[in-house]
Amino acid sequence: MGTVWVAHNRVLDVDVGIKLIELHGDEGADLAQRLLDEARAAARLGHEGIVRVTDFGVTRLGDPFLAMELLEGEDLADLLAREGWLQGRFAVRLLLPIVGALAAAHDKGIVHRDVKPENIFLAKEGADVKPKLLDFGIARTLYGVPRTTSEGVVMGTPDYMSPEQARGEETDASSDVWSTCVVLYELVAGACPFSGANPLELLRAIAGNEPVSFEQRAIDEPDLYRIIERGLQKQSKERWNGMRALGEVLALYLTERGVAEDVSGTSLRYVWLSGLMPPLAHPANEAMGGGEARSATTAAEAPPPAPSGPDLEALAAVNAGGDPVEQLERAERRRTAAWIVAVALLVAASTLGILIGTGIVVF
């Protein structure tokens, strides 16, 4: 659809990325409108997990362009091509910032509709990795703004399309839930959950077939697969009820394994969970999946035992008790009060013992 260039902003003296669309024939007006929609959608969101758009304009030849922050790093597709597959914990840590970005987009009525590894960029900021969501070019605004695509037009990348997208039907935020779960599946399995000899067969498989389970692929991640499996339900109402619900159960999956932060260093408790959970051990360094066999994980790499079969939905419901930060503060105050009472009782008991031992107090 176009090219991306490195450019220099002479006024601000910084390098930026320029996304340029060359117009051809009748499709030009539609592409220009879609680029403008992308600029507006990204500018409205202003989320750290979404690439920042700084300007929109038209060249002297009449071609539209979009200026955005220039990122250094690689996209998720490049990482996957190099590594083959990733450990479940590391894959979830990579995706949680994107889940948060999509939740923010959905809160403002914007559905991405093309979530895929190529549109997830792992930006390097010093020693840190900051996942960024790219390309809102086929995003749809749920309310207030007319769509630029017609009913029955299939938009998106086939491997990551929801069944309703594959049929060219109406789409909403649940389509992004589906696509995100496909990406997570691919990161852990090294392949997508549906396949076909050609795009038409692939779309038929997405609409009618069950995904290949982790067990069939000899992947020992039953808890993670249950999360993904619900996100891949054919009926949108049977999937996770929005990106926040998906983010909560993924955060719980990590905390059950001693992980406290996503890959960007953001606290899972602060963003996703309440303060009612027990203290966590310091997270161990996560390793990407490499060339070794999955059964050869060392004791140092192996996650601590997970609780016996917790109901993920019931655990996620704990966040419904109010703002997670407020709950965390209340829990901390309760712990502090309990600690003060315990110390006071201990001091009183010790003092009484001394008085009895010296004969000052006699019973």
| Among candidate residues 39, 225, 284, the one with its CA nearest the CA of residue 137 | 39
CA-closest candidate to residue 182, choices 201, 163, 161? 161
Print burial letters for 182-192: b (CB count within 10 Å at least 16), e (below 16).
bbbbbbbbeeb
Cα distances (Å, whole numbers) of residue 113 to 105, 170, 176: 11, 11, 6
User: Which residues is 120 bridged to in the sheet?
Assistant: 133
Phi and psi based region of residue 176 (left: phi greater than 0; alpha: psi -120 to 50; beta: remaining): alpha
Q: Please report which residue ranges of 209-358 form alpha helices under DSSP H.
A: 222-231, 243-255, 268-271, 312-316, 324-357
Active-site choice (114, 135, 159, 262): 114
Tell me the β-bridge partners of 133: 50, 120
Q: Are 269 and 96 within 8 A, CB to CB?
A: no
Separation between Cα atoms, residue 75 and residue 123, nearest integer Å: 8
At 301, is the secondary structure helix, strand, or coil?
Answer: coil
As a whole number of angstroms, the distance between CA 101 and CA 174 comes to 15
What does the alpha-carbon distance between residue 232 and residue 360 come to, in Å, rounded to a whole number?
Answer: 74
Query: Annotated catalytic, 114?
Result: yes
Active-site residue set: 114
